[in-house]
Amino acid sequence: MKMITIPALAGMLCCTLAIRAQTGSTDPRETYQLHIKRASSPIVMDGLLGEQAWEEAEVAGDFWMKFPRDGERAPKRTEVRMTYDDRFLYVVAVCYGPDDYVVQTLKRDSRFFEGDGFGIILDPMNRRTNGFLFGVSPFNVQAEDLLSQSAFGRPNFSWDNRWFSEVTRFDDRYIVEIAIPFKTLRFETGNRTWGVNFFRNDLKVNQYHSWTAVPVNFSATNLGFTGSLFWDQEPLKTGTNVSLIPYTRVSQYKDKEADPADSNTQFDAGLDAKLAITSSMNLDLTINPDFSQVDVDVQQTNLTRFNLNFPERRPFFLENNDLFTNFGVPPAQPIFTRRMGLDEENMPVPILYGARLSGNLSERFRMGLLNLQTKAEEGRNGQNYTIATFSQSFWERSVLKGYVTNRQAVVKGEGFDYSDYGRNAGMEFNYLNLPGTWNVFGGLHVSDKPEVGVGTYRLIAVDHPGRNFDFYMNYFGIDTDYYADIGFIPRMDNYDAANDTIVHLGYEHLFSRAAFIFRPPAGSAVVMHGPSARIVMDWLPGWIFNERSSNLQYEVKFSNTSELQAGLEENETRLIFSTAFTDAEPLPPGAYTYQRAGFTYQSDARKPIAFEGQVQVGSFYNGTLSRYGAGLTYRVQPWGNFSLKVEQNNLRLPDPYGSTDLTLINQRTEINFSNKLFWTTFLQYNTQQDNFNVNSRLQWRFAPMSDLFLVFTDNYLSSPFLQVNRNRGVVLKLNYWLTL
């Protein structure tokens, strides 16, 4: 087999950069323009258009169909107006159409794109690299997020801030009125042209509409398709911008595995603060933070040889997180913030303080600084983490970015241990053309660790999200001497079951994926379908073959939102260490080839009752593996969601390597008494982890961004069921958002 060498891949990058033509695309900033002027009358937030200022405001209308087709006007009318005063940017949208809305939940920041709603995208720097998203449902449920141009970034609604909205519903339309404080937005004074776009979710007919003509192969939140918002005068900084979010917490915790008779009651208090250093630079501070109210991880069955990746959910780490975490390519990430303040079992490690400075120093230059200190205790060193990053934009949408990180051990009563550290640095260049159809990026990362020395991690990737042909490929190579103490690179730590030890090894990785997409005309029951192929290959140091996975799949998406996928997969693995998948004798090193086939189906998610199913059967190393999954969701619009998911894995290996049956069940109940009071209970039964977990949380949003939480957690051994309690906890937490 002919190898793709690093010089060849570098040549591909150089050629792509050399032909950075604009492919004939018209700049939407020149075609779609909206003028905003100061309000001539006070704006009353009532979800209506009674003020004189709205009569005088320019109207953005004539929306385009975004999905399932593009190139045609939206069948339902949407009209948007904007104005402002000294404190707020105001937006009002009239969304015409019958009031048979699809509303999945009343919970903020949850499932926004799965129901009806209106959204605005703002790019105050007008650079198409970063922006803001604000969305509102017909039942006045808010969702907001920070946007970036990362190839792997998708809105996850992890950013929270204060803004206001009101909605009025009529038989033939609903009106959304939004007031965004200038204090909430990060922008440079002196800039009178912002990027802007509007979109609308119309899930009753499974359509998405946008003001500018966004191609069907791109997300409606793509910053490359913003129009121009022209201000009649420069929006000015609104003075002091300081927010304090103190919290108090009382908790009771029983660890029955450690001491069945012990019960620990604890009172805690802490503070988060947000300070605007400039109109576009923000300082976040946290003292003794507590994340007890954060959603628990959704457990997964792991039949791989490596650790699984769980997403970051803690609020302090999420704002402007693209500055800190968008380096490398999944799954090899040199910065992964879950490594800070959580141990190897994902249990919290006490954090004394944290500080993060992030934002724009100029129109094209962004920077981020983060420092965090965990508590040093007997038997466990504290850790000091520092991250410094920068991002310099070029041309229309391209970016040069870099970082430096340092992990330094802290010994209780002694201070820094300068012999225990891990340091990393790296730079990446991301070329993205104006329409976003070609995304090429590459980078070099280095690490330094005591008694190890310097290791490198190099990468290059090409992404072409075309309308009908979608292609992505990445290559990266990692030296054995490379370590990422604040990162997540799972394949490097190999468990040798025969010797009960971890062996750290570098590897070379090649991932490629290609898909052809058919898009039927209007009126078809199918909105898109087509085949895709994926090949993943890994080599040990010296280009010694280790593993190959080849996958062929066909996917069909229906106009009623249901989906069907069917696929075949072949794997070739050369084990270099003994590996155990059961409690019996581990598999010996050697070559294994195995195949699997499977399909998945998801029904119409808009119906009160929706279901999903998955079947995958075939061989697994020198045995067989059957995987079955099923899910059922019952939705009572808009206040209730009740779901049950079951996954069963039956692994059969020849003697003496054993067999096992792994069951994973989770049940979630979400009751929304209003858009301010929520009760969520999540049950998880996992035989692989021998754990049954209960997490129940009551949340009352008694004021904007201010909450009272009551959280109950309980853990049992899964067998014998509910007979052996491992630990139990109850937390009452109050936080209040105070803006000065």
What is the distance between the alpha carbons of residues 179 and 165, in angstroms, rounded to a whole number? Answer: 6
CA dist 364 to 125, 153, 265, 280, 401, Å?
8, 20, 50, 12, 12
Give the pLDDT score at 10. Answer: 40
Tell me, what's the pLDDT at 25?
A: 47
Q: What is the pLDDT of residues 601-615, one digit of tens each?
A: 999 999 999 999 999
**Rounded distance, CA 110 to CA 285, Å?**
26
Cα 275–chain centre separation: 25
Per-residue confidence (pLDDT) for residue 5, from 0 to 100: 42
Who contacts 280 (Cβ-Cβ below 8 Å, separation ≥6)? 124, 125, 186, 187, 188, 359, 360
Q: Is the pLDDT of residue 211 over 70?
A: yes
| Average of per-residue pLDDT across 3-32 | 50
Nearest-angstrom CA–CA distance, 598 and 607:
25
pLDDT at 258: 66
- Please tell me the distance from the alpha carbon of residue 513 to that of residue 469, in angstroms, as a whole number: 11
Of 541 and 16, the one with more pLDDT: 541
Closest C-alpha among 670, 659, 626, 662 to residue 646: 662
| Banded pLDDT at 376 (limits 50, 70, 90) | very high
Averaged pLDDT, 569-589: 96
Rounded-to-5 percentages of helix, strand, coil across the chain: 5, 55, 40
Give CA torsion, residues 573, 574, 577, 581, to 10 deg.
Answer: 30
| Residue 351: per-residue pLDDT | 95
> What digits encode the pLDDT tens for the residues 275-286?
988 878 889 999
Q: Return the pLDDT at 576.
A: 95
pLDDT, residue 363, reads: 83
Strands 507-516 and 264-278: unpaired
Least confident of 343-347, 637-641, 723-727: 343-347
CA–CA dist 320, 327 (Å, integer): 14
Spatial distance between the Cα atoms of 609 and 633, rounded to a whole number of angstroms: 6
pLDDT at 315: 83
pLDDT one-digit tens code per residue, 237-251: 766 788 999 999 999
- Mean pLDDT in the chain? 91
Nearest-angstrom CA–CA distance, 94 and 54: 12
| Euclidean distance between CA atoms 479 and 315, whole angstroms | 33
Mean pLDDT value of segment 547-568: 98
Residue 164 clears pLDDT 50, i.e. is over it = yes
pLDDT (tens digit, 9 = 90+) per residue, 477-510?
Answer: 999 999 999 999 989 999 999 999 999 999 999 9
Domain boundaries, the chain: 32-231
pLDDT in tens, 667-691: 999 999 999 999 999 999 999 999 9
- Class of the CATH domain delimited by 32-231: mainly beta
Q: What stretches of 375-438 adopt beta strand conformation (E)?
A: 382-394, 398-411, 415-432
pLDDT at 297 over 80: yes
Separation between Cα atoms, residue 88 and residue 86, nearest integer Å: 6
Grade residue 153 by pLDDT with cuts at 50, 70 and 90. Answer: low
pLDDT of residue 14: 39
Residue with tokens 């640095």: 425
Residue closest to 644 by CA, chosen among 615, 616, 664: 664
Token duo for residue 49: 């258009």
Centroid of chain to Cα 438 = 22
pLDDT of residue 19: 32
Contact 586, 565 (CB under 8 A): no
The confidence band for 152, taking pLDDT boundaries of 50, 70 and 90, is low
Name 640's Cβ contacts closer than 8 Å, sequence gap at least 6: 634, 670, 671, 672
- Give mean pLDDT, residues 700-710: 95
Per-residue pLDDT at 22 exceeds 80: no
Q: Distance of alpha carbon 90 from its chain centroid, rounded?
A: 28
- 64 pLDDT above the threshold of 60: yes
Confirm if 363 and 127 have CB atoms less than 8 A apart: yes
Residue 517: pLDDT above 50?
yes
Burial of 22: CB neighbours in 10 Å, binned 0-12, 13-18, 19+: exposed
Query: Which is more confident, 154 or 621?
Result: 621
Single-letter residue type at 389:
T
**Percentage, residues of the chain above pLDDT 90:** 78
Quick one: pLDDT at residue 156?
Answer: 79
How confident is the model at residue 24, as a pLDDT?
39
Mean pLDDT of 374-394: 94
Helix (H), strand (E) at residue 600: strand 590-602
- The residue type of 76 is K
pLDDT of the residue at 72: 95
Q: Report, as an integer, the average pLDDT of 421-443.
A: 94
In sequence order, which residues have a C-beta less than 8 Å from that of residue 405 and are 6 or more positions away? 334, 335, 385, 386, 387, 388, 422, 423, 424, 425, 485, 486
Q: Which of 578, 644, 661 is nearest to 610 (CA)?
A: 644
Cα–Cα distance between 676 and 702 in angstroms, integer?
7
CA 602 to chain centre: 22
Res. 3 pLDDT band, cuts 50 70 90 = very low
Model's pTM, two decimal places? 0.89
| Closest to 99 measured CA to CA, from 176, 169, 40 | 169
pLDDT score of 157: 85
pLDDT at 431 over 90: yes
Q: Beta-carbon neighbour count of residue 14 at 10 Å? A: 11
Instruction: Using only the alpha carbons of the chain, give its radius of gyration.
Output: 26
Q: Quote the pLDDT of residue 150.
A: 66
Which is nearest to 134 in space by CA: 106, 111, 165?
165
Is residue 187 very low, low, confident or very high in pLDDT (cuts 50, 70, 90)?
Answer: confident
Q: Across-strand partners of 544?
A: 540
Rounded Cα distance, 586 and 275, in Å: 55
pLDDT over 80 (residue 538): yes
Residue-level pLDDT at 9: 39
Q: Residue 394: what residue type?
A: F
Reported as a pLDDT band with limits 50, 70 and 90, residue 6 is very low
pLDDT given for residue 238 in this prediction: 66
Separation between Cα atoms, residue 288 and residue 129, nearest integer Å: 33
How are beta strands 415-432 and 439-449 bridged, if at all?
antiparallel
Q: Which of 106-115, 177-186, 313-322, 639-648 has the highest mean pLDDT?
A: 639-648
Q: How confident is the model at residue 148 (pLDDT cuts 50, 70, 90)?
A: confident
pLDDT tens digits along 45-57:
999 999 999 999 9
